[in-house]
Amino acid sequence: MALHGELHKLTTEGRNPRTQNIDTLSTEGIVSLIVSEDQKVLEAVQHEVPRIVEAADLLAEVLRAGGRILYMGSGTSGRLGVLDAAELLPTFGVGDDQVKALIAGGTTAMFVPVEQAEDDYEGGLRDFLAEGLTEKDALVGISASGRTPYVLAALKRAKEMGMVTIGITCNGNSEFAQIADVTIAAVVGPEVVTGSTRMKAGTAQKIILNTLSTTIMIKIGKVYQNLMVDMLPTNAKLVSRAENMVREVTGASLEEARQALEESSYNIKAAIVMLSRSCDLQAAQALLAKGEGVVARALQISWTEDAEN
């Protein structure tokens, strides 16, 4: 593990020469400078596109093969991981049996800082092992520094187990890079307020996680065209969204869309196939099974079968 004395060597811990007098500026000056620095984040993430692509392909294959993805992080990084994993259920119907996040310090750390937890190497290993993961699963370690002991412990053991290992950091040449199969390192430079990695580093990690998880969901068939067809319609707004999606894709009336959704227990994919192919729920489910849950593939199979007959 890196020593605390080496902290000053990290890009994310450096002093930003552009902001050294930020405390003397007007409100407009402070805000303008922060926004100006934030503009560097997208460029840093853009540079990491090849690594994000590589990670997305590896992680999509893990889910296709029935494996699980575990995020681990501490502080801001951990909270961003929890946020990303939690939002996959309502958006794509993917629960913590497929993608789960752990934060150093546990649930309490989501709301109250548990700063010492990030140094708990044994705690990270213990939390990781408690998940019962195997070589078919994947670990995504998230840390601005790329050297957080809580996460490093898990990454090292995951690597030893033959799991897919991904690191997300904001420092080049990090300890993550020495372990993980793929390390996504968006080097955003020193923060506006020295060491406050909830800022540019946090923004970069949020963009990376959004991009990575959404790409994975698209690749495993959770999106048809650009619609979230595995969304769970759990409130009035989402029910209306489901109805609108089915109508837009199939050209059906609102009444027809509602009927198909009700017959399929609000399975949006099944409703789309039912209306697109004028078939019942059982036939739609059979087509989706043949298409491995991918709507476009299920419809193509149906058209091919019709042509052959």
Among all residues, which ones are annotated catalytic?
Answer: 87, 118
Could you give the C-alpha distances from 158 to 67, 151, 168, in angstroms and in order?
14, 11, 15
Q: Going by C-beta distance under 8 Å and a sequence separation of 6 or more, which residues neighbour residue 185?
A: 48, 51, 146, 167, 169, 170, 171, 172, 174, 176, 177
Q: Closest Cα partner for 88 from 230, 235, 208, 226?
A: 230
Q: Are 154 and 127 in contact (CB under 8 A)?
A: yes
103 token code pair: 């934060």
Q: Going by C-beta distance under 8 Å and a sequence separation of 6 or more, which residues neighbour residue 119?
A: 149, 150
Strand partners, 164: 138
Q: Are 169 and 176 in contact (CB under 8 A)?
A: yes
Helices 27-47 and 49-64 cross at an angle (nearest 10°) of 60
